[in-house]
Amino acid sequence: MDQDIKFYSRPSVPVELHKVRVVQKLHLKSVDERLRAIREGGFNTFLLNTKDIFLDMLTDSGTNAMSDNQIASMLQADDAYSGSQSFYRMEEALREVFGKHYVLPVHQGRAAENVISQVFVNEGDVIPMNYHFTTTKAHMEINGGTVLEIYTDEALKIKSTNPFKGNMDIQRLKDVIAEYGVEHVPFIRMEASTNLIGGQPYSMQNMKDVKAIADEHGIMIVLDASLIGENAYFIKKREAAYKDVSIKEILNEMCAMSDIVYFSSRKVSSTRGGGIVTDSEELMLKMRDLIPLYEGFMTYGGMSVREIEAMAVGLRETLDETVIGQSPAFIEYAVNELDDMGIPVVMPAGALGCHIDAKQFLPHVSQLDYSAGALAAALFIVSGCRGMERGTISMDRDADGNDVASDMELLRLAFPRRVFTLSQTNFLLDRLKWLHENREIIGGLKFVEEPAVLRFFMGRLDAVSDWPEKLVAKFKADFGDSL
């Protein structure tokens, strides 16, 4: 926010700097109905139906609130297969926000990854990055590349005071370039607000250091800008040299150091869609032919013109600190409250959501009994809030069929931008507090139907004992008839 809001009598509380003008009714079902729903969904929150969910914190992808101006812009959309004015308005917005001239539209973030990987990644290549994202890694590997994660020692620590856990380790970057040879490094990928390690940003100084090495070796930088607004916000808040620099200037500077910038509009501008931008005509021409092949004509790229209009408006709104600062303010509030309650949560607060450490929350449940998955199911039973398991269930078995314990065993609670209120956030925190006090009741899960690939999406599990019934009994003893 431009200025922090001070209260006379309360510790820092985030304030919604928007008003609610269109609402959607939510349902909070009884604890018995929630238990039935999670059983029917195979104890997998992906398989829940939203009619049974109170607060849907599964993801921030395609679930953010749109502004009045975004919705209004959809009415002026120009339906045309080619030459649509909607596209040119979006192109202008992208030039302004990212400071790059050429724009290739795609239907969502992973489509940009497909195009970039097909064009630039060859068999035997390695791609250094601060951390991978699921779809990014899959596209690079399909094209014969290997992802190298060059994060710092701080990155995987649950509780840290390091403001930039998304930084790349500069010495290790130099080492891998020396080890594999420049010819096998098609580009270095930087991901803004690294999604899978807790929405953690990198600093501008780190990007400058990466850029210096890239220039020294003539290697391109590709920036995944899906969560760039929040990364820019954290640079302004946490990096002293940028205290008085506008979000727009910070975004422009981040992009100026990148040869190619791509993004998922499902995150950054609250609509569907995505794009690739660059200042290099040569790079643009290498990628351009794949757009009509996979996405659609150059002036829509698989998006509807209405989404394109809303995207242009949403991108410009990212430049407004009071808009882009909302979600980080709520997440920071929730993370600090959880920490005060003694609940283990990834710190410092980042973008996207709160990440609760199931290893510490449920020390009596082994990772191979899927502690983060069990915690996600338990939270749903006691609150109707749906989170996402980001732990061992999200890993697939190794070549010998063994389960692989993940580095981090997290329950992620996403905060879709401007969707939930402070009282809803407090409801979530209250239920987490109760769950933490009753954590010894929670037991593990086991697979009953296990897909071989990406099992976390469609896999079905069951509780290893009657712990869900015991949890419900304790809930009723404490809450009575209350939902």
- Residues marked active site are found at 81, 133-134, 224, 267, 390, 456
Q: Pick the binder of ligand PLP from 89, 132, 236, 266 (CB under 6 A).
A: 266
Instruction: List all residues 6 or more positions away from 80 whose beta carbon is below 8 Å from its beta carbon.
Output: 299, 305
User: Count of residues binding ligand PLP (CB under 6 A)?
Assistant: 16
Residue 341, class by beta-carbon neighbours within 10 Å (0-12 exposed, 13-18 middle, 19+ buried)? middle
- Measured CA to CA, the distance from residue 134 to residue 139 in angstroms comes to 9
CA-to-CA distance for 70 and 66, rounded, in angstroms?
Answer: 6
Q: Provide the CA 253 distance to its chain's centre, in angstroms.
A: 22
Q: Is 270 in the site for ligand PLP (CB under 6 A)?
A: no
Kindly list the distances between the CA atom of residue 398 and the CA atoms of 121, 156, 243, 405, 453, in Å, as whole numbers in the listed order. 25, 22, 46, 10, 11
Candidate list 102, 120, 133, 370; residue touching ligand PLP; CB under 6 A: 133
Closest C-alpha to 78, from 304, 362, 243, 350: 304
Q: Pick the closer one to ligand PLP by CB: 165 or 431.
A: 165
Contact flag: residue 264 with ligand PLP (CB under 6 A):
yes
3-class DSSP assignment, residue 463: strand
63 in contact with ligand PLP (CB under 6 A): no
Instruction: Answer for the pair 59, 50: CB distance below 8 angstroms, yes or no.
Output: no
- C-beta nearest to ligand PLP: residue: 109
- 61 touches ligand PLP by CB under 6 A: yes
Stretch that binds ligand PLP, among 93-101, 103-111, 281-289, 317-325 (CB under 6 A): 103-111
Instruction: Find the binding residues for ligand PLP in span 271-300 (CB under 6 A).
Output: 274
User: For ligand PLP, which stretch binds (CB under 6 A), given 108-116, 138-146, 169-177, 430-438?
Assistant: 108-116
- Helix, strand or coil, per DSSP, at residue 233: helix
**Left, alpha or beta for 270 (phi > 0: left; psi -120 to 50: alpha)?**
left
Among 52, 91, 191, 259, binds ligand PLP (CB under 6 A): 191
Select from 99, 109, 314, 444 the one that contacts ligand PLP (CB under 6 A).
Answer: 109
Q: Is 110 in the site for ligand PLP (CB under 6 A)?
A: yes
Token output for 410: 């997290």
| Contact residue for ligand PLP among 100, 267, 306, 316 (CB under 6 A) | 267
Contact in structure between 297 and 392 (CB atoms under 8 Å): no
Which of 86, 114, 152, 195 is the binder for ligand PLP (CB under 6 A)?
Answer: 195
Segment contacting ligand PLP (CB under 6 A): 17-25, 106-114, 176-184, 317-325?
106-114
CA distance 178 to 131: 20
Binding mask 296-335 for ligand PLP (x = CB under 6 A): ----------------------------------------
Note the residues at the interface with ligand PLP (CB under 6 A).
61, 108-110, 133, 135-136, 191, 195, 224, 226-227, 264, 266-267, 274
